[in-house]
Structure 1
């Protein structure tokens, strides 16, 4: 399919595809077949090869060590890295690192960029975004945020309990969402504060056991539970303006949802490639399975839906140039999460016992993709956003020609 991506986007994506096919996937296959993990030293070697091919950190400005692609141009490359279990990590385009790089790039001060962004891009430091809280804290309803930071002179005193903090176990620093004005609405009184791992009072409680986590590298990522107990950091560690945390997070998450969409679309694309290759070779009931109409039609449906998902993501990315594109992003994320889940499930089914075996990456993909309907906003949250938009312009409603409501009587049950 031709998505009319820019010449540069197409060229970089093509080089990334070659790198993934020639270098990354062969190492992934070896790890899956032998059970031997891909070491940290090997990941660093992949980074050097990515640098040599001008592929390293495509989403970051060149002055910080990246390739300087704009948001729309980097998306096709992200789809290519998503085809491998270690693809995003291989070119330093993995979550949450790429999202935190983006946040520091657009909201950080010059000093913050020099001290934290540059080494983060280069892989000398690791970061985590600490927003989600345990029951009854902030999650799908971010207004429920319980974490606080109180100003004491030129320092913040932070008390927070976070979990599902991706890469929190290894993080050298955290971008922590906290309420800094308890009298203001959370949307206006919340800030993001950079907290070094070495600050007194930071406690990494555990890595939360979860579905997925294929473990083919020796780098234990996961999603950590982290406590911040009277942690003191300078006020100058505030990312962006005080009280603007939700606006910054929305900008981070809007783009992050689309990069996730493309990575998972790449995962689904490779899953279909594996399934089609298997169906073409596997014989049963006097013919190859690829000649069975039911399977052919299901593959055709999956190809169609995946094409639609890629198109929606690109449309949402175009809209992000001029607005927050909240509805477009919600639609793209909701649809892509559903399609990639269903596509990978189909690939597993097509491959039968080989689908659930772990000589192929499909079983790992299957475990990983299920979380996509929850992370970066659960399906229900995005449906809520879309529904509010859908009813926003309704001035009147007629039911069976009998009931009519005008603007004065209309009740928006979803309004906050």
Structure 2
């Protein structure tokens, strides 16, 4: 397996890194750069987005035909890591969840008309979007077979009734992808729909307060009470909702990991910089064996995560589903992000616990990583099933 990247990709990585260093990281120290939910303020965001467009760093994950950068998944792994060295990075480059995953699934599965109506405004940065799947008990979470929200067909329209929650970005979204049950068929019982914020028959019942800083639009609870969706807004086809979900979530889990690696590396950078300056008892912190052990261990674990992410990205680029590779990466990177923030805080002491650095922001944000897009335990179950099915071939090498 060759991890060498092309000169063109390396040049792009350096451009993204320079943008983050010069424009975004300095903003993190400015209280006026934040909105009420601890994300980048909209006026600041629009200014930085304009600069990203001007420098050719906009929507790098999408095809050039629709205005993107044409990167494959391996290329995305390289640049997404650089983008998220700043907590503001992904949204500035229009590569943040949930828009990132929604754009990629619409580009892959949408009809020409659907792309024009639902995708292109996202590509241009004119609107935001959400993916409405998760439900409160007794509805579906990690197990979509438990889904309660139903869409019943009446002529050329579907009528939706049900309940969703923890829908990321919903309060700021205009375009939604909704997963609902259209039959009780175990394999073909779910359908994906597209609807607009202004469509009647649904409402946000609350923006759910969370432990960490929030994405734009928060995490919302939604009630559907007779939302009507025309048949032309079915994505891929009735009964193919799980295929839409698998197409979206597999890549979305991996892009989360790509971004989280950038945050983990940033935590190590902050910790190392402080340890190289701070003295105690006649010795720099960086010279203490205990500090060296912490930094060396977390650096190794970040590199393990990078290798798992790249292996999964290369598998997807070969046309594989990369199910087990994505699950491995998701578990590894979610945990190393949390631990990198913890190590950063520990080495910085009270400074790390304060808001003088972004370490406490990352620490609070990181706890969700082990839950979103499948909890650690769900991914371990996936790996166990793969192991039972494949036996020794679980560890096989790809060959030509």
Q: Same fold (TM over 0.5)?
A: yes
TM tier relative to shorter chain: over 0.9
Compared CA separation, residues 64 and 188, structure 1 to 2 (3 A): same
The reply on whether 1:299 has 2:299 as its aligned counterpart is no
What secondary structure sits across from 1:169 in the alignment?
Answer: helix
1:340 Cα deviation from its structure 2 partner: 1.5
- Residue in structure 2 matching 1:156, options 146, 158, 161: 158
- Residue in structure 2 matching 1:78, options 64, 70, 80: 80
**Which string of whole-angstrom CA distances, capped at 9 and with x for unpartnered residues, describes residues 296-335 of structure 1?**
0121111111011001000011111322111111011111
**CA–CA separation in structure 1 for the residues paired with 2:237 and 2:178:** 14
Q: How does 1:15-414 map to 2 (within 5 A)?
A: 15-31=15-31, 38-182=40-184, 184-185=185-186, 187-213=187-213, 220-320=216-316, 321-394=318-391
Match of 1:414 in 2: none
**CA–CA separation in structure 2 for the residues paired with 1:236 and 1:26:** 46
Compared CA separation, residues 315 and 393, structure 1 to 2 (3 A): closer
**CA–CA separation in structure 1 for the residues paired with 2:32 and 2:361:** 10
Contact 1:289–1:295 (Cα < 8 Å) also in 2 = yes
TM-score by length of 1: 0.90
CA RMSD of aligned residues (A): 1.8
1:35 Cα deviation from its structure 2 partner: 9.1
**CA–CA separation in structure 2 for the residues paired with 1:5 and 1:373:** 30
Contact 1:56–1:91 (Cα < 8 Å) also in 2 = yes
Contact 1:33–1:359 (Cα < 8 Å) also in 2 = no
Contact 1:140–1:377 (Cα < 8 Å) also in 2 = yes
Compared CA separation, residues 314 and 393, structure 1 to 2 (3 A): closer
1:288 Cα deviation from its structure 2 partner: 0.7
Contact 1:169–1:206 (Cα < 8 Å) also in 2 = no
1:64 Cα deviation from its structure 2 partner: 2.3
Contact 2:35–2:41 (Cα < 8 Å) also in 1 = no
1:343 Cα deviation from its structure 2 partner: 1.4
**CA–CA separation in structure 2 for the residues paired with 1:289 and 1:161:** 52
Aligned residues: 388
1:220 Cα deviation from its structure 2 partner: 4.5
What secondary structure sits across from 1:281 in the alignment?
Answer: coil
**Which string of whole-angstrom CA distances, capped at 9 and with x for unpartnered residues, describes residues 8-28 of structure 1?**
332222111100000111112
Specify every segment of 5 or more residues in structure 2 that has no aligned partner in the other structure, as ranges. Answer: 393-400
Contact 2:134–2:165 (Cα < 8 Å) also in 1 = yes
Contact 2:27–2:33 (Cα < 8 Å) also in 1 = no
1:221 Cα deviation from its structure 2 partner: 2.3
